[in-house]
Amino acid sequence: MKRHLLSAGDLTRDDAELVLRTAEEMRSLADRPIKKLPALRGRTVVNLFFEDSTRTRISFEAAAKRLSADVINFSAKGSSLSKGESLKDTALTLEAMGADAVVVRHGASGAPHRLAHSGWVRSSVVNAGDGTHEHPTQALLDSFTMWRHLAKDGGSLDGRRVAIVGDVLHSRVARSNALLLRTLGAEVTLVAPPTLFPVGVEGWPVETSYDLDAVLPKADVVMMLRVQRERMNASFFPTAREYSRRYGLDGKRMRQLQDHTIVMHPGPMVRGMEITADVADSDRSVIVEQVTNGVAVRMAVLYLLLGGNEPAGTTDGTTKGLSE
């Protein structure tokens, strides 16, 4: 694992498993009356959100606070500056304030990459979702959730079949999950209408299918992606109804699943579109648990990136605990 977490593809299997094991420890904290560790005392984590995402921001904020870091929330939305000026100038401002880690959410693919490699800042950069590119901590929390359900007691996700269903083309969650699950040994099948696959998906380390019903009976995990109704206006599919009929997960389809199969969703859900209420609220659904796990995984990431065991102020933000 490098100094930054920009792409799920940056993680080796050892890196990823270290994050998962660390997250397991962090998660046990949630069951204690005092949910706080002193690990990042005196360190500053900035949540830099150019796009609204209350749930991701809160998750990172909770993670940093439970590690006793100082948290600055910086919402750049509505800034009068142009996008470009705003990213660089904001970065310089944060650098001047002495941020140790910058958690960035941005509508432009590659913006965190730019932040990390432009020379604007020296702090660690964590990608909290960039455009239609990646969302690596989401993939980590998804893998962590699968791991807790399917790979207990030192097992692994090797050979586990994960179906990721929906708007793959516009999904940073799908990209990061495809990369990370492959690293962890799982077999990923992406399911979508042909219009919602990116060009060149055949070069990805995944299977693809246009037929949800053919994929469901073999899956150990079914991950539904959010599909915006507005996509039908750009002719990605004819109507929301037709999309739901062909690619939505409803009670009837759920009955095709194996007994142990879990249903996931990164949220926010569009109930009635890609998933029906009875599925989302069923025993198979681990959607709420994903949120809980999100805090634990983000604690693990911040802890490992910022070298939590170091006394404050002695490092320049380089990685401790993970190899450079």
Chain residues that interact with another protein, rule: CB under 8 A: 82-85, 87-88, 106-111, 113-114, 117-118, 130-134, 172, 175, 198-201, 203-204
For another protein, the closer CB: 7 or 244: 7
Shortest CB 99 distance to another protein, Å: 19
63 vs 179 by CB, closer to another protein: 179
Distant-in-sequence contacts of 29-35, Cβ < 8 A, 24+ apart: 29/66, 29/296, 29/299, 30/292, 30/295, 30/296, 35/66
What is the three-class DSSP state of 56? Answer: helix
Separation CA 213–CA 209 (nearest Å): 10
> Could you please report the per-residue DSSP string of 72-98?
EEEE-TT-SS-HHHHHHHHHHHHHHHT
Residues β-bridged to residue 163: 189, 222
User: Measured between alpha carbons, how far apart are the two ends of the chain, in Å?
Assistant: 6
To another protein, the closest distance from the beta carbon of 170 in angstroms equals 9
Looking at the DSSP assignment, which residues form a beta bridge with residue 102? 46, 125
Minimum distance from residue 145 beta carbon to another protein (Å): 23
Q: How many helices (H) and strands (E) does the chain have?
A: 11, 9
- Residue 196 or 219 having the CB closest to another protein: 196
Which residue type occupies 124? S
* Minimal distance, residue 78 CB to another protein, in Å: 16
CB neighbours (10 Å) of residue 151? 18
Least spacing, CB of residue 133 vs another protein, in Å: 3
Least distance from another protein to the Cβ atom of residue 233, Å = 13
Report the Cα 108 to chain-centroid distance in Å.
Answer: 16
CB closer to another protein out of 57 and 133: 133
**CA quadruple 74, 115, 86, 315: dihedral sign:** positive
Nearer to another protein, 134 or 187 (CB): 134
Closest contact distance (angstroms) between CB of 11 and another protein is 16
CA-to-CA separations, 22 to 31, 129, 144, 220, in angstroms, rounded: 16, 22, 10, 24
Q: How far is the CB of 52 from another protein (least distance, A)?
A: 18
**DSSP structure class, residue 198:** P
Nearer of residues 110 and 321 to another protein, judged by Cβ: 110
Q: Considering beta carbons, is residue 203 or 313 the nearer one to another protein?
A: 203
Report whether the peptide linkage leading into residue 268 is cis, meaning its omega lies within 30 degrees of zero.
Answer: yes
Closer of 6 and 279 to another protein (Cβ): 6
Task: Kindly state the greatest CA–CA separation across the chain.
Answer: 58
